[in-house]
Amino acid sequence: MGQVKLMKGNEAFAEAVIRAGCDAYFGYPITPQSEVLEYLAAQEPHKRTGMVLLQAESEVAAINMVYGAAGTGKRALTSSSSPGISLKQEGISYMVGAELPCLILNVMRGGPGLGTIGPSQADYFQATKGGGHGDYKVIVLAPSSVQEMADFAGLGFELAFKYRNPVLILSDGAIGQMMEKVELSEQQPRTTSFDQSWVTTGKSPDRERNIITSLNLDPSKMELHNRKLQAKFAGMQENEVRYERIDCDDAEYLIVAYGSCARICQKTVKLARQKGIKVGLLRPITLFPYPTKIIQEMTGKIKGILTVELSAGQMVEDVRLAADGKVKVAFYGRMGGTTPAPNEVLGVLEQQFLNS
């Protein structure tokens, strides 16, 4: 068993990043994720593992520093919150285009605009449908506990290098700020075992020069490159779907929720079962690739689905696509940094499915 500590989500993530053997972090402060940079600064990771840490002049600069480091084969990451993640979108699009691996953490806050510093899940569309320009996807991991904030650091890098594609951890202000018990893994070495044949570290006589670029002015070649990327995204959909099912075996009604919202709804399930209502919870862990198949499988066995989000209704579109009209999909959301109470969700569920 690894070391057990009581930590904030943001701090657990930062500690896990060092332990995962990450090579470089570049970031810019924004609430509610500044603890990542602050924790790393206090830890002096250059002394612990030789990891590079730099506070950039902006989120735009930070993601481009990540691009440069990733282009040399290093395990680089950045973290931010919603407005800052918006600024990184061009860089993320470039990284997908140039097939560069990296890890990005978004501790979501309420928008639009400067919005609020309270927790939100309103960046779901941005995270899962591309976000920046061009046809692309990134793997999106949605932690719902401090433990997962830590665990997804290592997993995120593993997936990023497996596919040579950015991986986004889509967290929120509640998960980032709350304190929980977390079991930390052992320190991993900063050595790399993956294929290094593409990295730009200087052209040695024994190989052709390497180029990191997303540019191809020949449309037919660019289409081929797009096809290659699409095949990669299809591979992610085939192999990387992750989800958790809670009390689903005998469920008549299903709640679909992720992140902090799933934690709230877990309580709703308990309250419902105390009242004799058979409710289960499906918690998507990957938001791209989305657990479409399991929802399709479950639609035959249940009477209704309630999707709960800290947004005006974004993930619910993917749930409806999966359910394909075969079962009623209701939605309940809170916005602007507010969160629903478990019994509030239960009230909605009863009203939508039982009182009619």
Partner 1 sequence: MENQSVSTDEIVREENLVYKKTSLMTSKALSYCPGCGHGVVHRIIAEVIDEMGIQADTIGVAPVGCSVLAYEFLDIDMQQAAHGRAPAVATGIKRCWPDKFVFTYQGDGDLAAIGTAETIHACNRGENITIIFINNGIYGMTGGQMAPTTLPGMRSSTTPYGRDIALMGNPLKITEVVATLPGTYFVARHSVHTPLNARKTKKAMRMAFENQKLKKGLSFIEIVSNCNSGWKMTPTQANKWMEDNMFPYYPMGDIKVNGEMVKKKEEPKA
91 binds partner 1 (CB under 8 A): yes
Shortest Å distance, C-beta 207 to partner 1: 10
196 binds partner 1 (CB under 8 A): no
Q: Which residue, 191 or 204, has its beta carbon nearer to partner 1?
A: 204
Q: Angle, to 10 degrees, between the axis of helix 9-19 and the axis of helix 34-43?
A: 50
DSSP label of 198: T
Site size toward partner 1 (CB under 8 A) is 39
Paired tokens of 191: 């050595």
121 binds partner 1 (CB under 8 A): no
Q: Which residue, 97 or 156, has its beta carbon nearer to partner 1?
A: 97
Beta bridge partners of 281: 246, 255
Paired tokens of 21: 């053997």
Shortest Å distance, C-beta 303 to partner 1: 50
Q: Which residue among 191, 193, 197, 204 contacts partner 1 (CB under 8 A)?
A: 204
Q: Which residue, 3 or 213, has its beta carbon nearer to partner 1?
A: 213
Paired tokens of 197: 């044949």
Shortest Å distance, C-beta 10 to partner 1: 22
Q: Which residue, 18 or 62, has its beta carbon nearer to partner 1?
A: 62
Q: Which residue among 70, 305, 322, 327 contacts partner 1 (CB under 8 A)?
A: 70
Closest CA to 278 of 339, 353, 356, 355: 353
Name 70's Cβ contacts closer than 8 Å, sequence gap at least 6: 76, 95, 100, 101, 102
By CB under 8 A, which span of 59-67, 139-147, 218-226, 250-258 interacts with partner 1?
A: 59-67
Shortest Å distance, C-beta 133 to partner 1: 11
225 binds partner 1 (CB under 8 A): no
Shortest Å distance, C-beta 134 to partner 1: 13
**Alpha-helical regions (H) of 101-188:** 124-128, 146-163, 173-177
Shortest Å distance, C-beta 51 to partner 1: 10
By CB under 8 A, which span of 150-158, 207-215, 258-266, 304-312 interacts with partner 1?
A: 207-215
User: Where in 11-40 is the site for partner 1 (CB under 8 A)?
Assistant: 23-24, 26
AA identity, residue 113: G
- Residue 289: is the preceding peptide bond cis (ω within 30°)? yes
**Pairwise CA distance, residues 26 & 57, whole Å:** 10
**Pairwise CA distance, residues 163 & 100, whole Å:** 9
Angle at 103 between CA 167 and CA 309, to 5 degrees: 55
Q: Which residue among 42, 48, 58, 135 contacts partner 1 (CB under 8 A)?
A: 58
68 binds partner 1 (CB under 8 A): yes
- Phi and psi (nearest 5°) for 344? -65, -45
Q: Which residue, 56 or 255, has its beta carbon nearer to partner 1?
A: 56
**Pairwise CA distance, residues 33 & 43, whole Å:** 16
Question: To 10 degrees, the CA torsion angle through 245, 246, 248, 249?
Answer: 100
- Contacts with partner 1 by CB under 8 A lie at 23-24, 26, 52, 54, 56-58, 60-62, 64-72, 74, 76, 90-91, 94, 98, 200-205, 209-215
